[in-house]
Amino acid sequence: MSDSTTRLDGRVAVISGGSRGIGLATARRFLELGASVLITGRKQPDLESARDDLATFGAERVAIASAHSAREAEVSAAFDHALGVFGHIDIVVNNAATNPSMAPLVEIDLAVFDKIIETNLRGYLIAAREGVRRMRASGGGAIINVSTVGAYRVMRGLGAYGVSKAAVNMLTQTLAVELADAGIRVNGVAPGLVRTRFSEALWTDAAMEKRMLRGIPLARIAEPHDIAGAIAFLASEAAAYVTGQTLIVDGGMVAG
């Protein structure tokens, strides 16, 4: 495999939840590989801080747009902004997600459950639709959806989150089949435990971290760049014959 197949030179990516964690690490990796990026998020100050961080790769290759991933008008405006700044869109990374409740499914407030589904599933479909409308014009592209190992095995306290991401896995497969003739590949990554603010309740407590590590054969918690590398692979020509797949990136957690 030549190095050129893993490069993203000249590509343009829209990354949701790109101001921190996996999204920010993905933006950084894409820039290292030659792409330009637009990152979205809900908080303008966080987006501006991320933009300043990423500008070391060239300010002209970084754009931001404030958007709630479940609000169609805001997402559409973000994609229009990316198109206006860069001229085309080649890659969509659906990363923004929420999990505001650790309650068992039979006890969860249904309004909270609806919010989880709205952001984690409906939001991904909205961004996919907006991306497809613009990628068709340039002859194809790639969509990568961020899932979780909780879509494959029950993790107490993450029931609603796992259910939403299991649906994301089917969304990935369905879109892959529907969009193949448009030259758009659709894949996913399913991280295990990653050292981000989103999952800090699982690793900031020493006893909890020790219990979690017992279930990870590689004996460490993933860093955001571990997941970003997998996303970059799926976005590149190295994965040109890969579609409809969700790559588990969990240090062996599910296998173990």
Whether residue 241 lies in the annotated active site: no
- From 50, 47, 16, 10, select the one nearest 30 (Cα to Cα): 10
- From 131, 139, 147, select the one nearest 40 (Cα to Cα): 131
94: exposed, middle or buried (Cβ count in 10 Å: 0-12, 13-18, 19+): buried
Strand order in the sheet with 62-66: 62-66, 36-41, 12-16, 91-94, 141-146, 184-191, 246-249
* Cβ-based neighbours of 79, under 8 Å, separated by 6 or more: 14, 89, 127, 130, 131, 133, 134
| Residues counted in the chain | 256
Q: Which of 124, 152, 161, 241 is catalytic?
A: 161
DSSP 23-56: HHHHHHHHHHTT-EEEEEES-HHHHHHHHHHHGG
CA–centroid distance for 183 within its chain: 20
- From 131, 120, 24, 31, select the one nearest 78 (Cα to Cα): 131
The residues carrying an active-site annotation are: 161
